Amino acid sequence: MNIILFSNDIFNICSMTESSIIERILLIKKELGYETDGAFADAANISRPNFSQMLNGNRTIGESIINKICVQMNINKEWLLTGNGNMLNPTAADIPVPVPANVANVQYVPLVSQYAYAGYLCGYSDADYIDALPLVPVLVDHELKGRYMMFEVKGESMNNGTEESILEGDRLLGREIKRELWKYKLHINKWDFIVVHRTEGILVKRITEHDTEQGTITLHSLNSEYDDRVLSLNDVAQIFNVIEVHRNRRR
């Protein structure tokens, strides 16, 4: 899924009333549950000093700032600039999940969309941030035990054109593997994995080797254009087993 950013020929930020744009940015901050300006700036990949100066009217709201907010927060750029339309970009609308009459079979888990990757790296250990994430329904036949998250796939590194491919836009239900279990061999032949790396972001891969003595894992992509990589577990924040793959049937 791609966000289409309107060109300067269509929307000229300089011609807009910056105070109105700031009001809408503050509304986004409120609606998405960011309690502080700093937390919002981190999630949008904007430096905190620049964001503070912008809110105070001491810095112009440039095109790059607008684009970062739209991409990282999944915001409709036309709405941000003009107030017209919906706040959220419709290209990232939630995939509908049929809910049966027996609602006891439905549980809700937090969703990290591909547009929220940067924000998650800053907020994965912040309970308030996790609580502010949107929830998506999951059909279950038993109570989910452990910590579960839903991640929307970004990129084509796991697409090799076969039925086992994981495609961009797929949503992966992941169950977190507690860090204290990383010293034991991971069940690498049973699962695909979601690896949250502290600097490289959220990676969906297979693990082909887990060296418990060296504390490293080898990541493998199904797409042959991507080379295998060895990562130190010291640089990894979280690891999830991929439990289910949810795909939009309208493709």
Please write the tens of the pLDDT for every residue from 239-250: 999 999 998 755
140 versus 107: the higher-pLDDT residue is: 107
Between vectors from CA 141 to CA 92 and to CA 96, what angle results, nearest 5°? 20
> 63-73 vs 18-31: helix axis angle to the nearest 10?
20
* pLDDT for res 9: 37
pLDDT over threshold 80, residue 144: no
- The answer to the question of residue 168 being in a domain is yes
Q: In this structure, are 180 and 78 located in the same domain?
A: no
Which of 56, 90, 124 terminates a domain? The answer is 90
Residue 141 phi/psi, 5-degree rounding, is -110, 5
123 versus 194: the higher-pLDDT residue is: 194
Q: Scan for tokens 């509304």, then name that residue.
A: 27
Please write the tens of the pLDDT for every residue from 187-235: 998 889 999 999 999 999 999 999 999 999 999 999 999 999 999 999 9
| Residue 37: strand, helix, or coil | helix
231 versus 60: the higher-pLDDT residue is: 231
| Residue 107: strand, helix, or coil | strand
Q: What's the rounded mean pLDDT across residues 66-88?
A: 83
Spell out the residues 6+ positions from residue 142 whose beta carbon is closer than 8 angstroms to its own: none
Q: What is the CATH number of the domain that holds 124?
A: 2.10.109.10
pLDDT over threshold 50, residue 124: yes
User: Number of folded domains in the chain?
Assistant: 2
Q: What's the rounded mean pLDDT across residues 29-54?
A: 86
* pLDDT for res 204: 96
Per-residue pLDDT band for 73 (boundaries 50, 70, 90) equals confident
Q: Is the pTM of this model over 0.85?
A: no
Q: In this structure, are 226 and 146 located in the same domain?
A: yes
Which of 34, 64, 90 terminates a domain? The answer is 90
* pLDDT for res 203: 96
Q: In this structure, are 195 and 75 located in the same domain?
A: no
Could you tell me the residue range of the domain that residue 107 belongs to? 103-246
- The answer to the question of residue 68 being in a domain is yes
Which of 59, 90, 121 terminates a domain? The answer is 90
